[in-house]
């Protein structure tokens, strides 16, 4: 399927065109012989049965006819194609036709028998002629010498061939093959089994070919066998026989590396190899023709093979025999085709038929083409030129020409074609093409170029420049034509080009000259070391690529007369094309037969103009590039068509979204090399990678595209670069701008060179200073800014000092001293450097004196450090002391053992290390008091304690220091001291402090001081083992509380609880508190139940106080149970009159519930509110805020039952505060309550009279009137319901209507609500009570607030 598809593609891509057909009456009915002129292929010699040989040109025009005395037996062209030799069956004369003079001559062979064979030598002018009797004649046309060899064969010579070494192989009917030299001497011969035919010389394929000599003779023997005779191995000839179904061998051809193509009569052809290991194996086999195969032909120039048979021709590609290149059907040839042959150049294929006709097909066009701007002209047939402009989408125009051209040139308005020394010019109109004229030149035209007005033809080392249309233009005569070079110029022009303004040519002496057509004079000249073979200017002529005689490529810029070598330029390059797309002016391609190389000329780059190789693109076979536009290469093909190829370097021109990240990165590289920054922006946008944006930004800087670089850096978020570029983008000086950009790219050497070449060379110095390249800055300053030398010298000296080059640093510090008061600070730095470098160089005296004179303390310190490292301790200490670095000075004095100086400096020393060293020295001298002071300054407390205990006998001071510093070693020393004194309690304390718990425990156990040890250890954080040891000790001693306490500390909660419950009760009940804490920590249900049982008195029937149960619940975080218990405790406390305690219990519980986000019961909230109101009364009263105090007391009095122990005092205070606050009704109400018998006797005498006065002053009518007024002003409150009840307890004896009315009014005044129920509690059922109730019932008719459902009778 693939082979068929390839055949179809090839078929439609190129179908051979029939050029002409020949039908002669004399040929009718019989096959014809023909042969092409060798090398040139301009003539075709044809003969039939008409006793004549007709000569036709390649267009089918008869040029001559040679009459013969008989039928032509054989004819052959010499190696150059100049002479055609003919022999006949009726004559011994050899006929020779000269193609140049078109004349025929005859040569007498001298043979008396008929001639049968004729063949020209392949390398010389020798002609071999064989006869029917086996004789041989070798004729030398150049010398006219004849060599006759009689008896070469015993019978008719039928075939033969020449080798490239001028060996002649002959075969005859005597079944012999002879090999002779050019003198006719036989050097080899061999016999064959049958008549030989179709003899050829060639080279067999070997593994290592040492020689290319044609040492093998091949021949068809008996039409069945292919015989191979190796001259180097004559004893081992090879006979190759083939399958019977193939039929007879018709013909065969050698090609390639020792391959043979063999055609068989049954329509098959086979390819075999002559390699000794492959002999007999078929490399390829195809059955091309159904009935028969009559001939095969191979064209090495086309790399094609053809077979003919039946009535068709099939053409294959030799690189892949499976690929069918073309099929030619001859439907009118019913007798079939006979023989065929190609011209040497492969352009024409001639096929003869069995009925006597001849057909010539065009199989390869001469690749002729030219381009001008975006317009191209190319040969589409031997006599046809097509003009096309695919870029501007113009319709192709076909121009028929009179001759087969050898060159084509296209201009803006004209077309030129020509051959030899003649050219035809055509005017290109909008819709038609008109022939203008033809011009003959003084020699054969090698190439021609056109512009809008002129044509330039190169011939025989000269150029003729002339106007194409001079008639009617009024042109000056001297400007119509000109011949280059002038007569006095001694050089040959090898190449030329013509642009709209210039004629450019290169010579054999290496001179390239620009001739300006408008001024009609030379304007530029460049001399190259070797000759210039080809020139290729860009469309504007401002740049020109050329190839010299060494096959090296260069680009020449006439504007600045600079030449740039093209890198990696292949020596096989045949031509160069410049990009015609306006945006890619610097792009050009160089091409050879197989590949196109894309180059980019970077003119404006910070490194200077240069050329880079962007990449390469494979080109199909026999494609000639004509035009490059926007990365698309238009090529002319051998078929007379064009093919567009997209360069691999321009793959980004497609749809970028179709590619992955890796391909996009490659495309980014391509766009940057080609300076296609807009496309690069799109690629970066798709990749969205910071590194890609950075690469694009760097390329913009490299190519000095400042505006685009700003855009990229702004996208990257690099504000610093954006601001820097904004500052320099307006610079017009090219070198200065390039210098800035080179600096931005960190190419500082290049930046310096560019700065120095610019109008602002001082920028180079500033750059080096900013970079701290002080050595180079110093060199630049000597030339650009001498006044900067001292300052740069100073910086350079600092750098040299850092690098350890003290000698040069000292010299530059000295150079940096200005002596000017304006630069005093600078000079001080230099003098400091001189001092330090002098010391380092060994000039200590100078350095020390300089440092002492210098005002800087830091310098004295640094110089002192240098001297200290140099072990010059005395000078170092002196400088340290002068610089007030007392610690360092004392340290150095200590190294000198100068204790006197150390003592002098000690008040100023802060270093503990120095104090320690001094203290040790004093202790060694026995001066303990001074040593203690020094040890204290050094924070060496252990040494201080030791001296106080051992030498100064001051244990109190030692103990205080231990307590303050918590020194473990000091505590041990104090403990040992107290042990020696027998003070075991103190010893135990300090042993614990020193973490010697085991020793402390043993000591406490031995001396019965365990309580002391326990008290100490309980306040320390220690191990559980220590706690357990103490607990076990107390357990053994039956000290339950202490045992329980330490069992709790070591986490043994069960044993701890057991001991706490066994502990005897005390006033503070600390054991019970500890038991509760134990259960809280343990969180063990069994222990909890055990403690609850104990608290409830389950064991001994004596329940504990409820507060412990409350604390237990709190410890267990059972807040709801704790809340209930708290209410009970608070109630008990209230009943006992401990209102503050009750308030604290409820408030702490309230706060804990709030913290735990647990809902608080209304009972607790109400009780806490009442108790809190009671607490607040005293505060308000003390502040004098009687209204708030009265309100709080009213709330308490309304709940007076909750304060049973202080009913009368509370009510008394309520009456008094209400009276003070002006709340008369409330005062009366509570005063009336106090008048009850059970309270009246308990009233404080000093308030009793006042309370009675309050009660008696209240008018019943006023209350009644007020009550009626209130009842008229507002309706019955909707919140009232009969379910609510308020009890007024009044003795029945004094109960009257007015009293009841007053009670109701008082309640209303206090609460803003009417009483729902009035309850009378009479002591006896007397008439007054009944009467009072009756009046109240009658009054309810007037006051709708009262009704019988609110009145209850007991």
What pLDDT shows up at residue 1275? 40
Rounded-to-integer distance, Cα 947 and Cα 924, Å: 12
Confidence check: pLDDT of 892 > 90: no
Quick one: average pLDDT of 1223-1246?
Answer: 81
Mean pLDDT of 92-108: 93
Q: Do 1047 and 1059 contact (CB within 8 A), yes or no?
A: yes
Amino acid 1281: pLDDT: 30
pLDDT surpasses 60 at 967: yes
Longest dimension (CA), the chain: 197
* Mean pLDDT of the 215-240 span: 92
Residue 1037: what are its φ and ψ, rounded to 5°? Answer: -85, 5
* Per-residue model confidence (pLDDT) at position 155: 94
- pLDDT tens by residue, 242-282: 989 899 999 999 998 889 999 999 999 999 988 878 887 88
**Confidence band (pLDDT; 50, 70, 90) for 1244?**
confident
The model's pLDDT over 853-870, given as tens digits with 9 standing for 90+, comes to: 888 888 888 888 888 888
Mean pLDDT value across the chain: 81
pLDDT confidence of residue 249: 94
Considering 154-163, 316-325, 958-967, 1213-1222, the range whose residues carry the highest mean pLDDT is 154-163
**Torsions phi, psi for 29 (to 5 deg):** 90, -5
- Determine the pLDDT at residue 1026: 67
Question: For strand 17-23 and strand 357-362, is the pairing parallel, antiparallel, or unpaired?
Answer: antiparallel
- The contacts of residue 367 (CB under 8 Å, 6+ apart) are 379, 622, 624, 636, 637, 638
Question: Mean pLDDT: which of 317-321, 430-434, 592-596, 1250-1254 is highest?
Answer: 592-596
User: Out of 151-160, 193-202, 1147-1156, which region has the weakest mean confidence (pLDDT)?
Assistant: 1147-1156
More confident residue, 1247 or 223: 223
- Do the Cβ atoms of 38 and 76 come closer than 8 Å? no
Residue 430 CA, chain-centre distance (Å), reads 53
Q: Name the helix (H) or strand (E) containing 240.
A: strand 238-241
CA 459, chain centre distance (Å) = 58
Region of 166 on the Ramachandran plot (φ > 0 left; ψ -120 to 50 alpha; else beta): left
Secondary structure (3-state) at 574: coil
The set of residues, in sequence order, having a beta carbon less than 8 Å from that of 1117 and lying 6+ positions away, is 1080, 1156
Q: The whole model's pTM is what?
A: 0.61
In this prediction, residues 884-897 reach a mean pLDDT of 76
According to the model, what pLDDT value does residue 14 have? 53
Number of H-type helices and E-type strands within the chain? 43, 61
Q: How confident is the model at residue 3 (pLDDT cuts 50, 70, 90)?
A: very low
Mean predicted confidence (pLDDT) in 376-391: 90
Q: What is the 3-state secondary structure (H, E, C) of 1258-1322?
A: CCHHHHHHHHHHHHHHCCCCCCCCCCCCCCCCCEHHHCCHHHHHHHHHHHHHHHCCCCCCEECEC
Residue 922 DSSP class: H
Element (H, E) at 238: strand 238-241
Q: Minimal CA–CA distance to 784: which of 771, 767, 769, 765?
A: 765
CA 612 to CA 689: how far, in whole Å? Answer: 26
Mean pLDDT (whole number) for 585-601:
93
Long-range contacts of 468-475 (CB under 8 A, 24+ apart): 468/411, 468/414, 468/416, 468/425, 468/436, 469/414, 469/427, 469/436
pLDDT at 334: 79
**Residue 701 Cα to chain centre, angstroms:** 20
The band of 1147, judged by pLDDT with boundaries at 50, 70 and 90, is confident
pLDDT tens digits, one per residue of 1258-1282? 433 344 444 444 444 444 333 233 3
Backbone phi and psi for residue 489, each to the nearest 5 degrees, phi listed first: -90, 125
Handedness of CA 1141, 1142, 1143, 1148 (dihedral sign): positive
pLDDT value of position 58: 86
Confidence of residue 1049 (pLDDT cuts 50, 70, 90): low
Task: For the beta carbon of residue 1008, count every other beta carbon within 10 angstroms.
Answer: 10
What confidence category does residue 550 fall into, taking pLDDT thresholds of 50, 70 and 90? very high
Enter the tokens of residue 613: 């190789």
Q: Which of 467-476, 1000-1009, 1028-1037, 1157-1166 has the largest mean confidence? A: 1157-1166
Asked if the model's pLDDT at residue 1286 lies above 70, the reply is no
Check if the beta carbon of residue 1093 is closer than 8 Å to that of residue 1079: no
Spell out the alpha helix ranges (H) of 87-171. Answer: none
More confident residue, 424 or 1024: 424
Residue 154: how many CB atoms within 10 A of its CB? 12
Q: Which residue has the higher pLDDT, 314 or 928?
A: 314
Q: Is residue 800 helix, strand or coil?
A: helix
Residue 1138: its pLDDT value, please?
77
Give the SS3 label for residue 637. coil
CB neighbours of residue 509 within 10 Å: 15
What is d(CA 283, CA 761) in angstroms, rounded to the nearest whole number?
A: 75
What is the band of 1066 on the pLDDT scale with cuts at 50, 70, 90?
A: low
**Cis-peptide, bond into residue 795, ω within 30° of zero:** no
Greater confidence (954 vs 788) lies with 788
What pLDDT band is residue 59 in, cutting at 50, 70 and 90? confident
Q: Please, what sign has the CA dihedral across residues 819, 825, 826, 830?
A: positive
Q: Are 73 and 94 in contact (CB under 8 A)?
A: no
Is residue 1002 within 8 Å of 993, Cβ to Cβ?
A: no
Q: Which of the four pLDDT bands, split at 50, 70 and 90, describes residue 47?
A: very high
Q: Which two tokens stand for residue 1336?
A: 């109240």
For residue 1331, the model assigns a pLDDT of: 34
pLDDT band for position 1284 (cuts 50, 70, 90): very low
Tokens 């790399």 identify what position?
Answer: 303
Note the pLDDT of residue 1018: 62
Residue 195 is predicted with a pLDDT of 94
How many whole angstroms separate alpha carbon 337 and alpha carbon 329?
Answer: 10
Does pLDDT of 283 surpass 60? yes
Q: What is the pLDDT of residue 1309?
A: 43
Q: Residue 321's pLDDT is what?
A: 85
- Residue of higher predicted confidence among 947 and 8: 947
For residue 938, give the 3-state DSSP assignment.
coil
What would the mean pLDDT of 661-667 be, rounded to a whole number? 90
Q: Which of 133-147, 356-370, 1141-1155 bottoms out in mean pLDDT, i.e. has the lowest? A: 1141-1155
- Which pLDDT value is given to residue 138? 95
Highest mean pLDDT among 770-779, 1063-1072, 1204-1213: 770-779
- Comparing 957 with 342, the larger pLDDT belongs to 342
State pLDDT tens for residues 489-523. 889 999 999 999 999 999 999 999 999 999 999 99
Using the 8-state DSSP alphabet, how is residue 36 labeled?
A: E
In the predicted structure, residue 1317 carries a pLDDT above the cut 70: no
Torsions phi, psi for 1265 (to 5 deg):
-60, -45
pLDDT at 553: 95
pLDDT of residue 1036: 67
Predicted confidence at residue 1272, as pLDDT, reads 47
Tell me the pLDDT tens digit for each residue of 898-944. Answer: 777 776 777 777 777 777 777 777 777 777 777 787 787 777 787 87
């Amino acid at each position: 399927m693939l082979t068929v598809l390839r055949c179809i593609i090839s078929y439609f891509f190129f179908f051979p065109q029939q050029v002409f057909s020949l039908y002669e009456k004399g040929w009718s009915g019989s096959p014809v012989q023909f042969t092409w002129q060798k090398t040139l292929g301009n003539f075709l010699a044809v003969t039939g049965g008409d006793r004549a040989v007709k000569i036709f040109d390649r267009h089918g025009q008869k040029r001559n006819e040679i009459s013969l005395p008989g039928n032509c037996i054989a004819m052959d062209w010499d190696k150059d194609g100049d002479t055609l030799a003919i022999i006949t069956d009726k004559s011994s004369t050899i006929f020779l036709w000269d193609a140049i003079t078109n004349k025929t001559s005859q040569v007498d062979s001298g043979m008396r028998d008929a001639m049968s064979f004729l063949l020209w030598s392949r390398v010389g002018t020798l002609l071999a002629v064989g006869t029917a009797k086996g004789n041989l004649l070798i004729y030398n046309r150049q010398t006219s010498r004849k060599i006759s060899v009689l008896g070469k064969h015993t019978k008719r010579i039928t075939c033969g061939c020449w080798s490239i070494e001028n060996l002649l192989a002959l075969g005859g009917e005597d079944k012999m093959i002879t090999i002779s030299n050019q003198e006719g001497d036989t050097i080899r011969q061999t016999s064959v089994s049958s008549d030989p035919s179709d003899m050829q010389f060639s080279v067999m394929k070997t593994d290592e070919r040492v020689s290319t000599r044609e040492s093998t003779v091949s021949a068809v023997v008996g039409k069945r066998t292919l015989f191979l005779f190796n001259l180097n191995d004559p004893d081992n000839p090879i006979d190759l026989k083939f399958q019977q179904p193939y039929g007879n061998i018709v013909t065969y051809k050698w090609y390639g590396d020792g391959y043979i193509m063999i055609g068989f009569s049954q329509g098959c052809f086979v390819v075999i190899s002559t390699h000794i290991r492959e002999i007999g194996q078929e490399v390829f086999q195809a059955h091309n023709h159904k009935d028969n195969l009559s001939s095969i032909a191979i064209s090495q120039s086309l790399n094609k093979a053809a077979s003919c048979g039946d009535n068709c021709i099939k053409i294959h590609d030799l690189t892949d025999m499976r690929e069918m290149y073309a099929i030619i059907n001859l439907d009118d040839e019913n007798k079939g085709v006979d023989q065929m042959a190609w011209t040497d150049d492969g352009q024409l294929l001639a096929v003869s038929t069995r009925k006597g006709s001849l057909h010539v097909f065009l199989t390869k066009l001469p690749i002729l083409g030219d381009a001008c701007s975006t317009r191209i002209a190319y040969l589409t047939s031997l006599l046809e030129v097509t003009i096309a402009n695919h870029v501007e989408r113009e319709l192709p125009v076909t121009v028929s020409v009179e001759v087969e051209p050898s060159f084509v040139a296209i201009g803006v308005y004209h077309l030129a074609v020509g051959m030899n020394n003649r050219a035809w010019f055509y005017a290109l109109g909008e819709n038609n093409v008109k022939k203008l004229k033809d011009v003959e030149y003084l020699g054969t035209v090698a190439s021609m170029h056109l512009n809008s007005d002129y044509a330039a033809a190169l011939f025989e080392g000269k150029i003729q420049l002339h106007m194409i249309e001079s008639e009617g233009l009024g042109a000056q005569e001297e400007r119509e034509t000109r011949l280059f070079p002038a007569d006095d110029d001694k050089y040959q022009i090898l190449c030329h080009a013509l642009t709209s303004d210039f004629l450019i040519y290169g010579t054999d002496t290496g001179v390239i000259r620009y001739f300006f057509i408008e001024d009609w004079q030379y304007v530029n000249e460049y001399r190259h070391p070797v000759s210039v073979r080809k020139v290729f200017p860009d469309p504007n002529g401002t740049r020109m690529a050329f190839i010299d005689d060494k096959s090296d490529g260069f680009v020449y810029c006439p504007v600045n007369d600079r030449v740039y070598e093209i890198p990696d330029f292949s020596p096989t390059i045949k031509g160069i094309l410049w990009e015609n797309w306006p945006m890619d002016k610097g792009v050009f391609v160089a091409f050879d037969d197989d590949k196109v190389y894309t180059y980019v000329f970077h003119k404006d780059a910070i490194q200077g103009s240069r050329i880079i190789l962007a990449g390469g693109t494979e080109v199909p076979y026999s494609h000639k590039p004509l035009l490059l536009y926007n990365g698309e290469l238009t090529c002319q093909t051998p078929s007379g068509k064009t093919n567009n190829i997209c360069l691999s370097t321009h793959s980004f021109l497609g749809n970028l979204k179709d590619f992955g990240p890796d391909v996009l990165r490659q495309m980014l590289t391509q766009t940057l090399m080609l300076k296609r920054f807009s496309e690069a922006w799109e690629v970066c946008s798709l990749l969205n990678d910071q590194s890609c944006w950075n690469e694009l930004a760097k390329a913009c800087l490299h190519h000095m595209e400042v505006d685009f670089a700003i855009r990229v850096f702004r996208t990257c978020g690099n504000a610093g670069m954006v601001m820097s570029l904004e500052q320099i983008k307006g610079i017009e000086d090219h070198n200065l701008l390039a210098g800035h950009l080179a600096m931005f790219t960190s190419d500082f050497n290049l930046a310096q060179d560019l700065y120095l070449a610019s109008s602002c060379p001082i920028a180079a110095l500033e750059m080096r200073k900013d970079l701290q390249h002080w050595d180079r800055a110093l060199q630049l300053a000597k030339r650009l800014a001498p006044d900067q030398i001292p300052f740069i010298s100073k910086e350079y000296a600092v750098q040299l000092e850092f690098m350890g080059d003290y000698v040069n640093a000292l010299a530059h510090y000295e150079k940096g001293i200005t002596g000017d008061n304006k630069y005093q600070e600078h000079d001080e730095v230099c003098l400091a450097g001189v001092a330090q470098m002098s010391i380092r160089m060994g000039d200590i005296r100078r350095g020390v004196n300089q440092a002492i004179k210098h005002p800087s303390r830091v310098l004295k310190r640094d110089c002192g450090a240098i001297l200290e490292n140099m072990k010059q301790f005395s000078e170092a200490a002196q400088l340290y002391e002068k610089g007030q670095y007392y610690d360092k000075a004392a340290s150095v004095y200590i190294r000198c053992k100068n204790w006197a100086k150390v003592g002098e400096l000690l008040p100023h020393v802060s270093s503990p290390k120095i104090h320690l060293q001094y203290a040790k020295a004093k202790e060694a001298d026995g001066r303990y008091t001074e040593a203690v002071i020094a040890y204290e300054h050094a924070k060496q407390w252990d040494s201080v304690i030791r001296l106080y205990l051992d030498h100064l006998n001051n244990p109190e001071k030692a103990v205080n220091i231990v307590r303050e510093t918590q020194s473990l070693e000091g505590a041990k020393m104090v403990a040992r001291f107290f042990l020696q004194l027998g003070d075991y309690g103190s010893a135990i304390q300090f042993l614990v402090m020193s973490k010697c718990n085991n020793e402390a425990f043993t000591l406490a156990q031995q001396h019965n001081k365990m309580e002391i040890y326990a008290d100490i250890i309980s306040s320390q954080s220690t191990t559980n083992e220590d706690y357990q040891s103490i607990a076990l000790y107390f357990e053994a001693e039956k000290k339950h509380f202490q045992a329980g306490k330490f069992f709790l500390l070591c986490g043994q909660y069960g044993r701890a609880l057991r001991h706490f419950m066994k502990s005897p009760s005390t006033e503070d009940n600390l054991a019970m508190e500890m038991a509760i804490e134990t259960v809280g920590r343990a969180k063990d249900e069994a222990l909890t139940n055990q403690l609850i049982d104990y608290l409830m008195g389950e064991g001994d029937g004596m329940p504990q106080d409820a507060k412990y149960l409350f604390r237990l619940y709190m410890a267990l975080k059972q807040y709801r149970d704790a809340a209930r218990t708290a209410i009970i405790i608070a109630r008990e406390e209230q009943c006992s009159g401990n209102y503050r305690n009750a308030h604290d219990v409820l408030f702490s519980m309230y706060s804990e519930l709030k913290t735990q986000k647990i809902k608080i019961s209304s009972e607790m909230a109400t009780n806490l509110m009442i108790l809190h109101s009671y607490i607040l009364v005293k505060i308000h009263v003390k502040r004098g805020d009687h209204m708030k105090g009265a309100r709080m007391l009213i709330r308490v009095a309304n709940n007076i039952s909750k304060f049973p122990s202080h009913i009368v005092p509370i009510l008394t205070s309520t009456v008094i505060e209400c009276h003070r606050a002006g709340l008369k009704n409330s005062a009366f109400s509570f005063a009336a309550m106090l008048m009850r018998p059970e309270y009246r006797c308990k009233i404080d005498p000093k308030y009793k009279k006042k309370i009675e006065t309050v009660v008696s002053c209240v008018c019943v009518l006023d209350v009644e009137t007020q009550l009626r007024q209130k009842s008229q002003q507002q309706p019955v409150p909707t919140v009232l319901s009969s379910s609510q009840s308020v009890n007024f307890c009044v003795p029945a004896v004094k109960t009257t209507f007015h009293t009841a009315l007053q009670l109701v009014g008082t309640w209303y005044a206090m609460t803003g609500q009417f009483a729902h129920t009035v309850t009378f509690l009479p002591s006896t059922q007397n008439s007054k009570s009944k009467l009072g109730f009756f009046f109240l019932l009658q009054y309810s008719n007037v006051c709708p607030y009262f009704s019988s459902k609110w009145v209850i009778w007991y």
